[in-house]
Structure 1
Amino acid sequence: MKRNIKKTIHWVIAFSTISLITACSEPESTGEEMSITGTIVTSENFEGKTFHVSMFHAQSGIGFQQHPLYEIESFTTQSPNFEHSFLYSPEGNTGLVVYAWLDNDGDGINCTVSSRNDVAGADVNEDFPNSKKNYSIELTDKCVGPDWFYPAAD
């Protein structure tokens, strides 16, 4: 009897461990690998500074749950010219918003209470992934996020 209980406990522990590992692992990435290219245009001196670039689904969700600006991923670059590859899932998603800001003070944060000089901009392709374009992001506004640029005010 004790032997059967020990055997059962070992199986329960083994099953629990496997279940825990499986539940906590990263889900398999889905989507199609896409690449974008672009240029960030600014009148600011960007020598030695970092551009932060983020890509968003312009619209995400289906039906009444649709909403703008669902983040896909972000990256940084020292150059105003960029090329980046990422996984894009077209299921329930349309368009692409590419948002960038220049970290003028080097703190890695887009504006703070004491530093309000980081500039931002965005470019939109409503027809992505059906059409490709070279993104041109003009950094024109200080201390604003992607929702400042998209969706456009009516």
Structure 2
Amino acid sequence: MTARIKKTIPVYLAALCFGCAGEDPPPPPIPVDLSVAIGALEDVDSAATVHLSVYHAWTGTGELRYPLEIVERWETNLGSSNFSFDYPAELGEGLIVYAWVDSDGDGANCTPTVRGDLADLVEVEAFPSEQVSVSLLLDAPCAGPDWFFPGPEPEGDVW
């Protein structure tokens, strides 16, 4: 039995090598410089923490395609800020920039009893690009990124 296993191991290794040899290497990540201007309604404290995230607009293929795969996140303040990140192009497509302001300082984007956190989202149309500039106006109460994107469900019979 040991001799049979020893004879089949090279066959399995060869099949494994042939299966892996045909793949192209993944594309390198795209270095992105993000410039963002974040505004909010007048009653929002200018010192409040803003949670900023960038997402792949879409990830996966076919029936496994889904929106909003997180790429990177930061904490910042209202006003203008600059960030740099590597966009992993092999993992998805498109770029979404989302932010919400933590108006009450609890670290959560709204709770059942406190509903004052505000948000906004921008889909970057001209992407991929190494320079991205967006403006956000945080005015939608208690909205997560999936509230904004991909938008309303299509009307009619989908199935």
TM-score band by shorter chain is 0.7 to 0.9
CA shift for structure 1 position 33? 2.2
- Name 1:41's counterpart in structure 2: 39
TM-score norm. by structure 1 comes to 0.73
C-alpha contact 1:101 1:110 (8 A) present in aligned 2: yes
Q: How does 1:4-153 map to 2 (within 5 A)?
A: 31-44=29-42, 45-130=44-129, 132-153=131-152
Deviations 1:27-66 (A, max 9, x none): xxx6232111111121143322111101100011233322
Tell me which moved more, 116-125 or 129-138: 129-138
- Name 1:4's counterpart in structure 2: none
- Structure 2 residue runs without a partner (length 5+): 1-27, 155-159
C-alpha contact 2:36 2:134 (8 A) present in aligned 1: yes
- Name 1:15's counterpart in structure 2: none
Residue 99 of structure 1 aligns with an amino acid whose one-letter code is Y
- Cα distance, 1:48–1:118 mapped onto 2, change above 3 Å: same
C-alpha contact 1:58 1:126 (8 A) present in aligned 2: no
TM-score norm. by structure 2 comes to 0.71
Alignment coverage as a number of residue pairs: 125
Q: Give secondary structure in 2 for the equivalent of 1:147.
A: helix
Q: Give secondary structure in 1 for the equivalent of 2:45.
A: coil
Tell me which moved more, 81-90 or 126-135: 126-135
- Structure 1 residue runs without a partner (length 5+): 1-29
In the alignment, the residues of structure 2 paired with residue 70 and residue 80 of structure 1 have an alpha-carbon distance, to the nearest angstrom, of 26
In the alignment, the residues of structure 2 paired with residue 62 and residue 150 of structure 1 have an alpha-carbon distance, to the nearest angstrom, of 18
In the alignment, the residues of structure 2 paired with residue 51 and residue 150 of structure 1 have an alpha-carbon distance, to the nearest angstrom, of 19
C-alpha contact 1:35 1:83 (8 A) present in aligned 2: yes
Identity %: 37
Deviations 1:65-115 (A, max 9, x none): 221100111101123212111111111421111000011001111001221
